Structure 1
């Protein structure tokens, strides 16, 4: 079963385009300019496996006749499933209209006209989104008025940990989108 949300361009054969920049045919659709990293996919796979066990437990509990427990177990399984899907969607998305930063609990869309500067800086970054920080690279954006926007990408998040080249390529692609559409009125 193809899972088009796992790739930026809908191609499910990841080996075919491993070292190429991702193509974007329809610039009006929101696209992630990079592939989800192995850490993000591995965490999602473990959570989906947990969801499968929870659904199996739901079925066993329902067959045993404990409907209240089955409903509670089903609700917990659906919560884990929803969290997994949200985890897979987190990251930076771009389109002709602007830049979208999708976090686990919050999504923020910024039109290209409001984006002032996108650059890569050396700074302490969170390791896999945990409170521990390490020295690394971060892709940051600032507004036209100089306000600092949240960090877009880091080289130590679940998409780019141990994939420095992929981080640099993703930063370059986001910068190219910004350069192309910042001057064009949306």
Structure 2
């Protein structure tokens, strides 16, 4: 069973260089990069914790009451859901727009609502913690809003210690924006 949320499109590396968007199905949401080792490692640790919780559920069900086992099972299911959601976190693009998937929320902007997508040097959060370091960020400027949204940084869980992967992902997102951004006349 292919796990599409874990893989980026391999066609990006093997496509001819004359096409910026070498995809046949442009309507499908896709992540333009592979999840980083920090994100995959965090999800693996959560799944390891869930396996211990499921083993505890079995032991509690055999020795204790079913309600206690049910509580432990519900906790394990919640940890598994968090691990799967952690793997989906990131930026997704399609012909419809750009989607930023977070652990709890998802925000989608249509390409018509985007005025600019650009890479800038600025202080960025290190692995999502309050600590900031100097780095690069891919910003999306939505139409009608004065604030810029940070979409990707080179110090997040997908790109820490992988600057070339950040550059490729930023270039692909900018190419999608250039392809589908149609300015509206007032």
Pairing 1:69-80 to 2, within 5 Å after superposition? 69-80=68-79
Aligned-residue offset at 1:168? 0.5
Instruction: Give the alignment's TM-score, normalised by structure 2.
Output: 0.88
Q: Is the 8 A contact 2:121 2:136 kept in 1?
A: yes
Partner of 1:84: 83
What is the distance in 2 between the residues matched to 1:157 and 1:62? 40
What is the distance in 2 between the residues matched to 1:176 and 1:148? 22
Question: Comparing 154-163 with 116-125, which one deviates more in the overlay?
Answer: 116-125
What is the distance in 2 between the residues matched to 1:142 and 1:20? 31
* Structure 1: segments with no counterpart, 5+ residues: 12-16
What is the distance in 2 between the residues matched to 1:145 and 1:103? 23
Aligned to 1:109, the other structure's residue is in SS state: strand
Partner of 1:141: 140
Q: Is the 8 A contact 2:91 2:152 kept in 1?
A: yes
Partner of 2:8: 8
Partner of 1:128: 127
What is the distance in 2 between the residues matched to 1:18 and 1:45? 26
Partner of 1:14: none
Aligned-residue offset at 1:184? 8.5
Q: Which structure 1 residue ranges, 4+ long, deviate > 6 Å from structure 2?
A: none
> Could you say what the CA RMSD is over the residues aligned between the two structures, in angstroms?
2.1
